[in-house]
Copies of this chain bind each other. A is one copy, B any other.
């Protein structure tokens, strides 16, 4: 059990880790059927003929799996992980069936809110890595974090 962190507890440069999550072909196809029904996320043969040259997870599936890993990982802001806005999000390479993902989160900036007393923003870079430690997603998100009461 990690102690929840208030705004004052965050330090620039501190890193947080997560568990690992294995990505199955069925999960890739199920997410795509629900939210991103394009051939390269749904069907092995169609994917082979596409830009991705094989079945690849939707980037939004990768984002969702990243969130799952973060919520269950070491980064525990008081009040939960609440994203206010993202400044950057990219997918440097495809997520494939059988990949095992984990996330490394690093604190980039901590600042009090000018308009909301008692709250602030923590800028976090979350890098999602595959089992070869290659980045599959990089996300820079500003989290809303309460100050210590």
Type the 1/0 row for A80-121, where 1 means its CB is closer than 8 Å to any CB of B.
Answer: 111111111111000000000000000000000000000000
How many residues in A have their beta carbons less than 8 Å from beta carbons of B?
Answer: 34
The reply to whether the CB of A59 lies closer than 8 angstroms to some CB of chain B is yes
Residues in B with CB closer than 8 Å to A36 are 64, 67-68, 71
User: Is A40's CB under 8 angstroms from B86's CB?
Assistant: no
- Count identical subunits in the complex: 2
Instruction: State A51–B51 Cα separation when bound (angstroms).
Output: 41
Tell whether A86 pairs with B88 under 8 Å between CB atoms, given A35-B65, A37-B71. Answer: yes
Instruction: State A18–B60 Cα separation when bound (angstroms).
Output: 18
User: Is B90's CB under 8 angstroms from A34's CB?
Assistant: no
Residues in B with CB closer than 8 Å to A79 are 50-51
User: Is B71's CB under 8 angstroms from A83's CB?
Assistant: no
Instruction: State A34–B64 Cα separation when bound (angstroms).
Output: 9
User: Is B85's CB under 8 angstroms from A50's CB?
Assistant: no
User: Is B34's CB under 8 angstroms from A80's CB?
Assistant: no
The reply to whether the CB of A144 lies closer than 8 angstroms to some CB of chain B is yes
The reply to whether the CB of A131 lies closer than 8 angstroms to some CB of chain B is no
